[in-house]
Structure 1
Amino acid sequence: MTIDCKGEQLILSSDRAIYWQAKKMLIISDLHIGKSAHFRKSGIPVPDSINLTDLQRLTALVAEFNPETLLVTGDMFHNNINSDTNTFMHWRKSFAHLKVVLIKGNHDNLKNEDYDALGIDVYQKELLAAPFRFIHDKPSEVDEYYNISGHIHPGVIIYGKAKQQLKFPCFYFGSDYAILPAFSVFTGLKVLDSKQGDRFYAITPAKVITIKA
């Protein structure tokens, strides 16, 4: 689905990503590389296929849109270097031509030399690319930039005719800021309160659909 946001055309992908065609930029959030390995290290049996599946989806997105830049709005990694990170390292070598930019999130605790070795440009707080500010969590104050963030892992509930409830990840667009869905499938969902004028785009198994607030 293509939407207009502050005069810019953004493609909302059902693979939980935004493509900003004017900048040839693929935008995702909350990839959480290393989360499954972190849980396994703690004795929780989480399959290592989760990390591989996320990277396969990312590969498909790069093939589809052919971006020049991959921008991650925080929590690209989940704490420290582990076996999942090593898998990403092999992925990164396959896309050495791709510029990768990370706005650090609360889980991005790798050392500076680790990011350098992976060919990742790191921004500590935010990246300004008018008309947008890319940031991990929405700022408390509003200015001339429209904020695009992650962190929350937004979801939306769709009610069926038989009163059943289905919960899906979603893109959220409010008056001052947007929130991306978590890219990794190994995350929970937070259903957001809505107000008039808010736009929700639910990611269903078939396609991205608009949900009125």
Structure 2
Amino acid sequence: MIVECSGEQLVLSKERAVYWRREKMLIISDLHIGKSAHFRKSGIQVPHTVGLTDLQRLTSLVKEYLTEVLLVTGDMFHNNMNSDANAFLEWRSRYPVLKVVLVKGNHDALKNEDYEALGIEVHNKELLCAPFRFIHDKPREFDSYYNITGHVHPGVVIYGRARQQLKFPCFYFAEHCLVMPAFSVFTGLKIVKPEQGDRFYAITPEKVLKV
């Protein structure tokens, strides 16, 4: 699905990512590397393949779009360095030329030297790249920049003919913000309620669908 936003063309992928053609930039949010290992450490049995599946999807996207910049709008990591984070270190070593940029989210608590070792450029609050502001959660006040955010894990409900209710992650375009879906499959959904003029694009297993 290709959409226009603030005069720019954005490609919405069913793999929960946005590709900004002009900048050759792949944009994702809420990757939550280390979340499954964090749960296992707490005694909750989560398959170790969860994090690997996310990295495999990321690999496919980087190759598909000939990505030069990978930008994560927060919560790239779920906690501290653990076995899942070490898997990302191995993944990162296969793409030494790829520029990886992180706008920190509330879960990004690695040490500065950890980010340096992973070859990640870190912005603590926001990154401005006109016409967009990349920030983890939407700001309280708005200006001329259109905000691309994450944090919420937005979802939408689609109703079937026999009163079925299907919930899907979505891209949520509001007046001042695009709220990105969580990239990781190991996340929940928050069903968002539209206001007049808002646009929703549901992410189904087959395609991105305008609601």
Once the two structures are TM-superposed, the CA of residue 193 in structure 1 deviates from its matched residue by: 1.3
After superposition, what is the alpha-carbon deviation per residue over 1:148-178, rounded to whole angstroms, capped at 9, x for unaligned? 0000000000000010000000000011111
What amino acid does structure 1 have at the position aligned with 2:111?
K
Match of residue 83 from structure 1:
83
> Given the alignment of the two structures, is residue 129 of structure 1 paired with residue 121 of structure 2, yes or no?
no
Match of residue 74 from structure 2:
74
Once the two structures are TM-superposed, the CA of residue 74 in structure 1 deviates from its matched residue by: 0.2
Once the two structures are TM-superposed, the CA of residue 196 in structure 1 deviates from its matched residue by: 1.1
> Given the alignment of the two structures, is residue 22 of structure 1 paired with residue 52 of structure 2, yes or no?
no
1:46 & 1:195 partners in 2: Cα distance? 37
2:88 & 2:24 partners in 1: Cα distance? 22
What amino acid does structure 2 have at the position aligned with 1:204?
T
What amino acid does structure 1 have at the position aligned with 2:105?
G
Equivalent positions of 1:95-106 (< 5 A) are 95-106=95-106
> Given the alignment of the two structures, is residue 208 of structure 1 paired with residue 195 of structure 2, yes or no?
no
1:100 & 1:80 partners in 2: Cα distance? 18
What amino acid does structure 1 have at the position aligned with 2:69?
T
Structure 1 gaps of 5+ residues are none
What amino acid does structure 2 have at the position aligned with 1:77?
F
Equivalent positions of 1:42-61 (< 5 A) are 42-61=42-61
Once the two structures are TM-superposed, the CA of residue 106 in structure 1 deviates from its matched residue by: 0.2
> Given the alignment of the two structures, is residue 178 of structure 1 paired with residue 173 of structure 2, yes or no?
no
2:139 & 2:159 partners in 1: Cα distance? 32
1:22 match: secondary structure? coil
1:52 match: secondary structure? helix
Match of residue 193 from structure 2:
193
TM-score of the aligned structures, taking structure 2 as reference length? 1.00
Structure 2 gaps of 5+ residues are none
After superposition, what is the alpha-carbon deviation per residue over 1:3-29, rounded to whole angstroms, capped at 9, x for unaligned? 000100000000000000000000000
2:37 & 2:198 partners in 1: Cα distance? 37
1:98 & 1:65 partners in 2: Cα distance? 12
2:11 & 2:200 partners in 1: Cα distance? 14
1:82 & 1:114 partners in 2: Cα distance? 11
Match of residue 119 from structure 2:
119
2:200 & 2:148 partners in 1: Cα distance? 14
1:41 & 1:206 partners in 2: Cα distance? 34
TM-score of the aligned structures, taking structure 1 as reference length? 0.99
What amino acid does structure 2 have at the position aligned with 1:120?
I
State the aligned residue count.
211
What amino acid does structure 2 have at the position aligned with 1:210?
K
Once the two structures are TM-superposed, the CA of residue 98 in structure 1 deviates from its matched residue by: 0.2
What amino acid does structure 1 have at the position aligned with 2:206?
A
2:206 & 2:196 partners in 1: Cα distance? 27
Percentage of pairs with the same residue: 70
Once the two structures are TM-superposed, the CA of residue 186 in structure 1 deviates from its matched residue by: 0.2
What amino acid does structure 2 have at the position aligned with 1:117?
A
